[in-house]
Amino acid sequence: MNIRVSNRNYKIFIKHKIMFYVLKNYHCRKTKQFDIMRILVILHVLKISTKNCYRSH
């Protein structure tokens, strides 16, 4: 399995999931700010983990 290809596909998949999640919960204003913060954190962690993946292989 090519790590780069699967990694890219995984990132795209995650992005789509997050977009869907945001759109689904957009109408709920009370939690919107918190959700956006959480998503930013998730994306940041993903970026770090994918960087580490590239470095380790």
Residue-wise pLDDT for 16-56, tens only, equals: 887 777 777 666 555 566 677 777 888 888 776 666 666 65
CA distance 11 to 35: 19
| Confidence (pTM) | 0.35
The angle at the Cα of 35, spanning 38 to 4, to the nearest 5 degrees, equals 50
CA distance 17 to 12: 9
Give me the pLDDT at residue 20, please.
79
